[in-house]
Structure 1
Amino acid sequence: MSAEVQEQSVPLSKIDSAIDDAPASPSESKPRHRRTSSTVSGVFRIEDLEKEGTDLKIAPETQKLNWKVNSSPSTIEDKEVLKKLLCTPPIKKIDLHFPLGLEVTARNMKGVTIKDAVDAIYKQYKKKADDELGDPYLAGFEWDREECFTKFIVHQKKSGDAPSGSGGKKKKGKGEEA
């Protein structure tokens, strides 16, 4: 019988050592913060900036996009501009307000870029025909801290500037062959 006691004591010691290696409570094995991936240092909530009275600067490149709001953002020639932050300091989300009352929200936890803003606008206008749009081209954004700190006003214009490159669609017509 002493052999049985020894066999039982060996497995018990192994079980005991396994228990000792486990954390004391389940909360110790979890990370301290739940969403570490979505919090980026240096990116702010616009409400926090409003409390601090921080001024925002909108990227001037938005005025030179020459982009038709019902065409895909991929038609914008300068792809590097799309990667730039919409404003400084960077913010997590911004409401884009159109003069006729429409409002869209651009979001990006790493800082709203120009692409995020045009994507949000395009989502609203992609099913509209050209003749339904009074001012189809994006002219830029305006921030009026007195009127509404947490929104950018979207400006539009009747026609886009002449394209600088050979990109863009040609209008269908007869005798356009060179």
Structure 2
Amino acid sequence: MSAEVQEHSTGAPLKQVDSAIDDAPASPSESKTRHRRSSSTVSGVFNINDLEKEGVELKIALETQRLNWKVNSSPSTIEEKDALQKLLCHPPIKKIDLKFPLGLEVTARNNKGVTIKDACDAIYKQFKKKADDELESPYLAGFEWDREECYTKFIVHQKKTGDAPSSGGSKKKKGKGGDEA
């Protein structure tokens, strides 16, 4: 290798490249372009921590309050299939922690923006083995975002009974959605 270095310093072309040197990026910005998952990032989808630094206001989709979904049943049983494809909040985020009142937390992730289905899937994963009689409040009532308590988490609200399928849905549990200044 010392011969290669001498040739290179004299101006002669380098014939063999040491792999340890070849893979090193020339600058930190170049290393980002070589990251193998760079294609999975979608423009317009944010990291919640970046939004917190900028003080951006989040708005949770109202459809979450009308799902009438039992948390220990598969999200595929939800009647409103269109609502499942909607983004959980605006602006879209890659990851959100969902916090239950008793302390349990689950995380919903999607690099293209967390959808209502992603949140339901994360919740279902925790409750799928629970029997109906083990759950005090088995129905999802919606999510709440409390900027002061914890910017990076949504609080999960549950209720004891589901609404009748033909009712317009209940909005009673969501008090702090986006009215705060």
Amino acid in structure 2 at the alignment position of 1:62: T
Q: CA 1:144 to 1:26, structure 2 compared with 1: closer, same or farther past 3 Å?
A: closer
In 2: Cα distance, 1:77 partner to 1:146 partner = 34
For structure 2, the 5+ residue unaligned runs are 1-14, 16-21, 26-31, 168-181
SS of the aligned residue for 2:142 comes to strand
2:156 equivalent in structure 1: 154
SS of the aligned residue for 2:72 comes to coil
Q: In terms of Rg, which structure is larger?
A: 1
2:99 equivalent in structure 1: 97
2:61 equivalent in structure 1: 59
Q: CA 1:32 to 1:49, structure 2 compared with 1: closer, same or farther past 3 Å?
A: closer
* 2:39 corresponds to which of 34, 37, 52: 37
1:113 equivalent in structure 2: 115
In 2: Cα distance, 1:72 partner to 1:147 partner = 30
How big is the shift at 1:92? 0.4
How big is the shift at 1:163? 1.9
For structure 1, the 5+ residue unaligned runs are 1-18, 20-24, 166-178
1:142 aligned onto 2:144:
yes
State how 1:18-33 maps to structure 2 within 5 Å. Answer: 32-33=33-34
In 1: Cα distance, 2:152 partner to 2:24 partner = 38
In 2: Cα distance, 1:73 partner to 1:37 partner = 29
1:68 aligned onto 2:78:
no
SS of the aligned residue for 2:98 comes to strand
2:49 equivalent in structure 1: 47
The alignment's TM-score, normalised by the length of structure 2, stands at: 0.73
Amino acid in structure 1 at the alignment position of 2:126: Q
Amino acid in structure 1 at the alignment position of 2:78: I
Quote the sequence identity (%). 79
In 1: Cα distance, 2:66 partner to 2:121 partner = 17
Q: CA 1:101 to 1:27, structure 2 compared with 1: closer, same or farther past 3 Å?
A: closer
How well do the aligned residues superpose, as a CA RMSD in angstroms? 2.0
How big is the shift at 1:95? 0.2
Q: Number of matched residues?
A: 140
SS of the aligned residue for 2:157 comes to strand
In 2: Cα distance, 1:71 partner to 1:26 partner = 49
